[in-house]
A and B are shown apart, each in its own frame.
Chain A
Amino acid sequence: MSNNLDLKKGLNIPIKGEAAREVIKTVSADIVAVKPTDFNGLVPRLLVKEGDSVLAGSPVMADKMRPEILFTAPVSGTVAQIIRGEKRKLLAVLVKADGKQESVDFGAKAPATADQAKDLLLKTGLWGSLIQRPYGILANPEVTPKAIFVSSFSTAPLAADTDFTLGDSLLDIQAGVNALAKIAPVHFSVRKESYSSTPFHKVENVVSHLVSGKHPAGNVGVQISHIAPIQKGETVWTVSPMLVAAIGHVVNTGKLDLSRKVAVTGPAAEKPAYVCALPGTPVKDIVDVKGDVRVIGGNVLTGENLGADGYLGFFDDQITLLREGREREWFGWAKPFRPKVHSSSWCYFSWLTPGKQYDMDTNLHGGPRAFVETKCFEDVTPMDIYPIYLIKACLAGDIEKMEKFGIYEVLPEDLALCDYVDPSKNEIQAIIQKGIDLMIKEMA
């Protein structure tokens, strides 16, 4: 039995560089990083020291407040270096791989109860894959969520095609879902447009939803806000399908395997295709970065600027390469036609070329201004909220209004398109994150 959700609002950004559906290489990196910065709301406590040997699945760090939450190494090898930043903040633990990829044996056994399921997630280091809403933080093991949401697809620009990356992991996904379902009902959404070709509608033991629409229809937050809006005091968890498969893999084999197909995408990618890699793999092992190019872990809307010396993040199944757009275009805004620049606004003529994919770069295309045109936010936000009021409440730091206008339902990623379309070039995601940080501080 599935429920239909057809979303009308939204925008698919037509950017060049979609990954071809083939795996062109498997990266077995020499050095793999475990980064506490991948996990929102984590204060890490280090469990290893340089020279310790680890297996895939050996704990490397834990949450300081809740030491039962472990974070584990994705490879076997020895701890090579511990990188700290300002005020000795832990930035990364580098593990030198021994090439054997031996894993801790967690025992191939499906959890029978919620406690067993939680225990499995905690000790394997997969607890970190649970994101707690509201606020989008590391889940709290003491809380039982109202539901767990999994969106089997992403509508983000050039996102990895989960039908391709996870299509052959259906057994793992089913086992992962079964484990999660011990904790709370699992809601699983499938893309309506690809219903006939996707294997995901075969997943059982879930409340399934058929979702259609432009980006951000695939965002789990948008789906939650239509299926079961989060109220004050409620908690839901979300997990990416890739990590559900990783959970299922542990259940089925007893081994931790975080390797994934990573989509290398973007206009600056020489050959956009998939590579197999572990989280924490150095960027330079995955892609060749030439020239003034930005390496983004994730998609162009919400991804993190990893830098050419960075490491693939825990949640990343995509890398996007973008040219830095530092050149200054003469009379850019005044030209009647600007065929190289995309605009969703009808003030330009992009609507004449609906199928065109653009060679985008990181230029801001303007300067920061006060809010003027605000209907564009509503047009790309398929949620029952008034984005501009929520944004202004966040700017004002008004807790009561943020609650009223729906701060519990959103994460910055759900309003990422507002960043894109705003003619006043405001940093909407940063504003929402600031609001969320304030909520966490005040409501704690």
Chain B
Amino acid sequence: MIQIRGVHKEFAVDGAKVTALSPTDLDVRRGEFVSIIGPSGCGKSTLLRIVAGLETASGGTIAMTEARSPAQRVGFVFQEPVLLPWLTALENVRFPLDTAGVARQEAEDVASRLLRLVGLAGFENALPRTLSGGMRQRVSIARALSYDPLLLLMDEPFGALDLITRDRLNDELLAIWSETRKTVIFVTHSVEEAAYLSDRVIVMSPRPGAIRSIYEVDFPRPRGEATKLDPAFHHLMANLRRDLQ
């Protein structure tokens, strides 16, 4: 559903040209969960931000089939929750709907349903400052889903959380994904996270940022503790680690 062809990004630092991302091709199928993994400076976030329209590519094309209105076709989950601190959890989730002019009642229904989906029923009226880091990030995910985007882009969404919260949110993300059937592009620097979540893992290498290898991941779903014990899972992680060297 998304075709990336020859997308690259250069910028100038003190007159010298720096390549953040060399020409990259990537196809993502509808409903697929793709992870992009790589060390910092490999251009993985740049690629994601270009797809989101947060940065403009120096060249190349991105085609989205079955794209509806160009506005709000992608949901974006940042590394930090980036909630509006003066709005309650519910108001944060319905914020994109309110700004897009969706009727009050409809926005309210969608937002409360999504808060339930991310396990925050009962926290509708809580301000972000009263929520834990993990809960804030769940609100952020619900907000990204509120306008029902075709594509969900996640930029190291759990990178700032502790490992226990991270593991739990990984499982919840998979549950949400299997319920909503979104296409997900997930940027991470965690080998385990990439292997556990994805249908496909893309390894990128730095200087200049480029795709180094691609792994199909066909562990059965739903995944769980059994997946993490599977020798094939560890074999995959070893391969990913080797490619990251």
Instruction: Tell me if chain B binds chain A.
Output: no
